[in-house]
Structure 1
């Protein structure tokens, strides 16, 4: 069920398209990663699924030269909050269910 929800979001946000395999390039596989969210008593209240690349199949200098994290680093968040406090800027927090690199958000 959670995989289907994630795939529906991929389709809705148009984050991928089928393309022919490029010659002389390695195709990087994917794997589903699951995470259970627990309540205070340890009961599973929700499950999330993320489709991620299997980076262990890449070879440095052959398949990649840069890596990117899809999440904000805690140091960047601390700097942002400190700057906002220094400049007396009001900060609002929101939760985004799905976000994609290079995606277009309407919010």
Structure 2
């Protein structure tokens, strides 16, 4: 739990503020998972602070939720190209991906249970970045991802929007 909160603090996910008049903050909860290695032994325990986004109201708490997802067919084509041309494959995971998405809406969340400091019980979290559970979280992550990879010269595939390509001489990256 402390690791999750440190990550949120490092990513400047929210500011603690006085609750605005007439605004009802959304609730949050802790979700716990046991991560296991390939042999089934426990690798680590993980805690994630999740917003109860199901309480958000369209047009108030969020406007748009759509974000493109790569298809299985596109994945298979890329894998076939890798095999056919003996290309190098590198897979990565973006840790705390959703925390990189910037919010367009003003969203307030109650403080996280178990970590409220004395004298700050009345404050709420004004979210600056998306967190898991928000209706728009995956869209905000996609918009941020698109912004970053496009700034690096990658072009979005017009058929499958979640596949990007970059040429550099005779080299290319999917």
Place the TM-score, normalised by the shorter chain, in its bin: 0.5 to 0.7
1:22 aligns with 2:20: yes
What number of residue pairs does the alignment pair up? 99
| Structure with the bigger percentage of strand | 2
Q: In the aligned structure 2, how far is the partner of 1:13 from the partner of 1:65?
A: 23
Question: Contact 1:6/1:50 (CA < 8 Å) preserved in 2?
Answer: yes
RMSD: 3.8
Post-superposition CA distance 1:69-99 (Å, at most 9, x none): 8xx74xx2534664795xx997642122222
Higher relative contact order (CA 8 A, sep 6+): 2
Q: In the aligned structure 2, how far is the partner of 1:68 from the partner of 1:29?
A: 23
Q: In the aligned structure 1, how far is the partner of 2:88 from the partner of 2:37?
A: 31
Post-superposition CA distance 1:4-59 (Å, at most 9, x none): 11111111111211122122221101101111112355432112211111234456
Q: In the aligned structure 2, how far is the partner of 1:4 from the partner of 1:96?
A: 19
Larger radius of gyration: 2
Q: Which moved more, 1:3-12 or 1:31-40?
A: 31-40
Q: In the aligned structure 2, how far is the partner of 1:77 from the partner of 1:5?
A: 33
Question: Contact 1:38/1:46 (CA < 8 Å) preserved in 2?
Answer: yes
For 1:38, the equivalent position in structure 2 comes to: 36
Structure 1: stretches of 5+ with no match in the other structure:
none
For 2:160, the equivalent position in structure 1 comes to: none
So what's the TM-score if we normalise by structure 1? 0.61
Q: In the aligned structure 2, how far is the partner of 1:46 from the partner of 1:29?
A: 27
Q: Which moved more, 1:33-42 or 1:4-13?
A: 33-42
Structure 2: stretches of 5+ with no match in the other structure:
103-128, 130-143, 150-174
Question: Contact 1:58/1:64 (CA < 8 Å) preserved in 2?
Answer: yes
Q: In the aligned structure 1, how far is the partner of 2:54 from the partner of 2:15?
A: 24
